[in-house]
Amino acid sequence: MSGPAFRESTPRLTLDCEGLLCPLPVYKAGLALSRMSPGDLLELVSTDPGSLADVPAMARQRGDHLRSVVTEGDRHVFLLEKGPAR
Amino acid sequence: MTITPTDTRLRRYEDIRDLMAGPAEPTPLVRLRHLPDPDASLYLKLEWMSPFGSIKDRTARYLLDGLEAAGLLDGKDIVEPTSGNTGIALAALAALRGIRLIATVPSGVPDEKKVLMRMLGAEVWETPDDLCPVDSPKDGAIALARAIAASDPRFVMPNQYANGDNVRAHYETTGPEIWTQTDGEVAVFVAGLGTGGTLTGVGRYLKERNPEVRIVAVEPQPGHRLPGLKSLREAKTPEILDWSVIDEVVEVGDDDAYARTKELYRREALMVGPSTGAIVHAALQLDPAAGLVVGVSPDSGFKYTSYFADILGDEGLPTP
């Protein structure tokens, strides 16, 4: 018996880039994603305001998927899904 | 026989750093006998005859000495953007000082260079030039090194693109060496456009000695595959580059640069890196009556064998 389609939402890895200036969060996220498998989730925490523009652009460029961004104060939490193998 | 400290006459050295070039021990200046017009007088300064293999040995030493003199190196590690040669020289000197180096390198730097830096104990962070997809000057390695230095107080960034000690290295060593080795007869100096350190430092020195000396900068084309050189149509102008000492800019394409590099191997037996091919290509376009021309040969070809394999294809292999 199969249940309803389940969409994984627990990140495989959390990358804490608080205090790091751009482009370090983007660089570290790209490095982590390149070592993950398609469908894996990466949570990226950044305090650099530049990452609000750079992370979505990086995800598009790499073919990964930005699932959500939550901003609390100066903390931005991105949930990224590794795209299909290229 | 009494063993004395470093004796350059006997080529016996107490420290590898004693082998680094300077006016008392210049890198060789070698005439090209076969490629140029017979009336032309074209010499190459073989900067790879230096312990860490390139013209960047001078830069790296001055950068570190400058940081140390300013008290900025105490207990610090180094982060530096580099296309490889500065990274290799900094990694070697850092290893001798027991400090750590992170080298941020643009994508496309040959594996040979990255492996040598890691052999010397450095960490190599490779990055595409368009690392910041939104704010995108084509200098991702520089942006990444700046971010590391600004985010982590354990690191200091010598910044060869903006540090006057890079210019001083060439003003105090390369320039005087060329002047002495040519007995003041140098008429034209040709070097690649990279950080601007060589062109600015040597150019300033030679023009102070003789304002008539012409300084020629060799610039690659956008999207080039000539490590160490920068196209200012796609990268920012380095802060230390002084345009006032440059008389002419010659743009050289990859095909011409690699064809000349191959010619240098086969007709002059000079095992140089591809930027030397670009510099020689530009120098060979000068009027043979221009006088004594000195071109820089920044490094040897040993770090580019993977690139050379690409351009050779099946050449030099037996056919069935």
ipTM entry: 0.82
Q: How far is B83 from chain A (nearest CA, A)?
A: 18
Question: What is the pLDDT averaged over residues B183-195?
Answer: 97
CA-based nearest distance A25→chain B, Å: 10
Catalytic residue among B275, B297, B300, B303: B275
Contact list in A for residue B134 (CB cut-off 8 A) is 50, 53-54, 57
pLDDT at B213 over 80: yes
Percent above pLDDT 90 for chain B: 83
CATH topology (fold) of B16-51+164-308? Rossmann fold (3.40.50)
How confident is residue B214, by pLDDT bands cut at 50, 70 and 90? very high
For tokens 């939550």, the residue is A70
Q: Which residues on A lie below 8 Å from B140 (Cβ)? A: 23
Parallel, antiparallel or unpaired: strands B29-31 and B41-46: antiparallel
Cα separation, B273 vs B111, whole angstroms: 14
Q: What is the residue-level pLDDT of chain A in tens, covering all 86 positions?
A: 455 556 667 888 999 999 999 899 999 999 999 999 999 999 999 999 999 999 999 999 899 999 999 999 999 999 999 999 86
Looking at every residue in chain B, the average pLDDT score rounds to 94
SS3 letters for chain B?
Answer: CCCCCCECCCCECCCHHHHCCECCECCCEEECCCCCCCCCEEEEEECCCCCCCECHHHHHHHHHHHHHHCCCCCCCEEEEECCCHHHHHHHHHHHHHCCCEEEEEECCCCHHHHHHHHHCCCEEEEECCCCCCCCCCCCHHHHHHHHHHHHCCCEECCCCCCCHHHHHHHHHHHHHHHHHHCCCCEEEEEEECCCCHHHHHHHHHHHHHCCCCEEEEEEECCCCCCCCCCCCCCCCCCCCCCHHHCCEEEEECHHHHHHHHHHHHHHHCCCECHHHHHHHHHHCCCCHHHCEEEEEECEEHHHHHHHHHHHHCCCCCCCC
- B95-120 tens-digit pLDDT: 999 999 999 998 889 999 999 999 99
| Chain B nearest CA to A7, separation (Å) | 29
The SS3 of residue A67 is: strand
Q: Is the pLDDT of residue B136 over 70?
A: no
Q: Angle, to 10 degrees, between the axis of helix A24-34 and the axis of helix B140-151?
A: 110
For residue B147, the chain A residue with the least C-alpha distance is A21
Q: Helix, strand, or coil here: A48?
A: coil
CB contact under 8 A, B134 and A53: yes
Cβ-Cβ contacts under 8 Å for A84 (sequence gap 6 or more): A38, A63
Residues in chain A within 8 Å Cβ distance of B144:
23-24, 27
The answer to whether A9 and A77 are in contact (CB under 8 A) is no
Q: Which of B204, B196, B202 is nearest to B239 (CA)?
A: B196
pLDDT at residue B314, rounded to an integer:
95
Among the listed residues B151, B175, B304, the one whose alpha carbon sits nearest the alpha carbon of residue B245: B175
CB pairs under 8 A between A and B: 41
Question: Residue B143's closest chain A neighbor by CA?
Answer: A23
> Cβ of B147 and A21 within 8 Å?
yes
Contacts of residue B86, defined as CB under 8 A and 6 or more positions apart, other chains included, come to B56, B59, B60, B80, B160
pLDDT, tens digit, 9 for 90 and up, residues B32-49: 999 988 889 999 999 999
B138: pLDDT strictly greater than 90: no
Q: What is the pLDDT of residue B288?
A: 87
How many angstroms away from the CA of B106 is the closest CA of chain A?
13
What letter does residue A81 receive in the DSSP assignment? E
Write out the residue limits of the CATH 3.40.50.1100 domain(s) in chain B.
16-51+164-308, 56-156
SS3 state of residue A76: strand
User: Which residues partner with B25 through β-bridges?
Assistant: B22
Strand (E) or helix (H) holding A14: strand A13-17
Q: Is A19 touching B (CB cutoff 8 A)?
A: yes
Q: Cβ–Cβ of B134/A19 closer than 8 Å?
A: no
Residue B125 has which token pair? 């962070």
Q: How far is B219 from chain A (nearest CA, A)?
A: 28
Active site residue A17: no
Touching check for A18 and chain B: CB below 8 Å? no
The pLDDT score that the predictor gives to residue A1 is 44
Any idea which fold A13-81 has?
Translation Initiation Factor IF3 (3.30.110)
Confidence at residue B49, expressed as pLDDT on a 0 to 100 scale: 97
Closest chain A residue to B136, measured at CA: A54
Q: Which tokens is B54 given?
A: 């390139």
Q: Which residues contact B180 (CB under 8 A, 6 or more apart)?
A: B23, B26
Q: Token pair of A51, please?
A: 């990452």
- B chain contacts of residue A60, beta-carbon cutoff 8 Å: 133
- Tokens for B91? 């990694």
Give the class (CATH, top level) of B56-156: alpha beta
Read off the pLDDT of residues B245-288 as tens digits, 9 standing for 90 and up. Answer: 999 999 999 999 999 999 999 999 999 999 999 999 999 999 98
B238 prior amide bond cis, ω within 30: no
Judged by DSSP in three states, A13 sits in strand
Residues of B in contact with A53 (CB under 8 A): 134
Q: Do B134 and A27 touch (CB under 8 A)?
A: no
Which residues of A are less than 8 Å from B138 in CB distance?
Answer: none
Which of A22, A24, A36, A66 is the catalytic position? A22
Q: Which residue of A has its CA nearest to B135?
A: A54
